[in-house]
Amino acid sequence: MPQRESNTWREIAVLAAAQGLLLTNGVSMVAVTGLAGRAIAPDLSLATLPLTAYVIGGAATTLPAAFFMRRFGRRQGFSLGALLGCVGALVCAAAVMAGSFALLCLGAAVSGGYNAFGQQYRFAAADAAAPTWKSRAISLTLAGGILGGVFGPWASTHTRHLLEPIYLGTYLSLAAVALVALVLVSRLDIPPLTAAQRSASGRPLAAIARQPAYLLAVLAAATGYGVMNLLMTATPLAMDLCSHSYADTAFVLEWHVIGMFAPSFFTGDLIKRWGVLKVIGAGTVLVAICIGIALAGISVMHFWWALFLLGVGWNFMFVGGTTLLTETYRPEEKAKAQGSNDFIVFAVQGVTSLSSGLLISRQGWETLNSFALPAIAFTAAATLAYGWKLRASAPARRGVDAA
């Protein structure tokens, strides 16, 4: 095996493992923080505010994370992110010990910084891979999230009563997970930008963002993440209100995250075979089916099918959007292009996290699901419109090439 290919596989393996640890942290945060918030919140409608702080913390860190890695490299950036995850989990542990809702929000916000740095794992995989292999590298890196899907719910189930008060053991275990991630990412060896690339500014962000491909890439990722976050954040509270056990909730979340990341073993191949637009479109269809199932009933299996299909739909939209995004910028522009994309995604997550708590407590599960339909319909329409535009312009491009 050529040395370059061997190194690529090694970097992707490390990134996939780091992705798994990141999702272990993220899934556990989603599984317990809404419940911990409800236990100590001054008002039930604020129960998901710590999760909103988690997302806002990530949003606020996205651009600094991207530019930090532009200057200092991927390894240093991912190490700093893992350190934030450790500190944030320890602050959350202190919050449940003190019964402080404000401190819980602060710890969640710091933990969001870990997620912001970790969102760059997929872009780092694209950096390490040959141009023709980017979609598969992104997809395989995200496949590491299966570890989070399996271990995250299991860990939160078995650690939430491990120490008193409830959830203390979970947050301490998340600090340990972040420390393991810190050791792991220290083994990365992805070459940083050259001095010339760091000094070059490239096109203004406005010029990059005016590209239809960029707009669709951001729309697909933001809508996929926003709808997924809206429903996933509300699921533990909705299932609790429907008198389902925490074990059932953990089971549903486990399969949701498996649905999010198991398709990554073949999503890259689907993109190479069928094209990125068809994969994004398929994702919107799956999310629409998820909403239909969620509106049909509130049994454990209704939640299971809805959340599993939501995960698969998210995967197609997010991997497709990320792959499309990598085609819209030059090497010296990637910090601003990637950072702005992730900022928008996190901002949408922040809105949906806060909306999730308000909707589930005041309007109910059915209304919450109905709110997601227009966004999915708009993304599907935009994908179709862009595809038609490309097909219409193809004959003109061929004529220019022939001339």
Whether residue 309 has pLDDT greater than 90: yes
198 located within any domain:
no
pLDDT of residue 261: 84
pLDDT tens for each residue of 100-157: 999 999 999 999 999 999 999 988 998 887 777 888 888 899 888 888 777 777 777 7
pLDDT tens by residue, 236-279: 888 988 888 878 988 898 788 789 888 988 998 999 899 999 99
Region 206-222: mean pLDDT is 95
Residue 402 forms part of a structural domain: no
Residue 115's CATH number: 1.20.1250.20
Q: What secondary structure letter does DSSP report for 193?
A: P
Question: Does residue 309 sit within a domain?
Answer: yes
User: Whole-angstrom Cα distance, residue 310 to residue 27?
Assistant: 15
Q: Is 66 helix (H, G, I), strand (E, B) or coil?
A: helix
Examine residue 199 and state whether it is found in any structural domain, yes or no: no
In the chain, how many domains are there?
1
Domain extent, residue 291, equals 3-188+204-393
Q: Is the pLDDT of residue 397 over 70?
A: no
> With contact defined as beta carbons under 8 Å apart, do 27 and 153 qualify?
yes
Mean pLDDT across 65-75: 90
Give pLDDT, residue 41. 80
Domain contains 196: no
Mean pLDDT of the chain: 87
> What is the arithmetic mean of pLDDT over 311-326?
95
Q: Looking at the domain assignment, is residue 399 inside a domain?
A: no
pTM: 0.77
398 assigned to some structural domain: no
Q: What are the pLDDT digits (tens) for 353-390?
A: 777 777 877 778 888 898 899 999 999 999 999 999 99
Residue 401 belongs to a domain: no
Q: Which bin fits 243, alpha (ψ -120 to 50), beta or left (φ > 0)?
A: left
pLDDT, mean of residues 159-176: 91
Task: Name every residue whose Cβ is closer than 8 Å to that of residue 62 and which is 6 or more positions away in sequence.
Answer: 116, 119, 339, 342, 343, 346
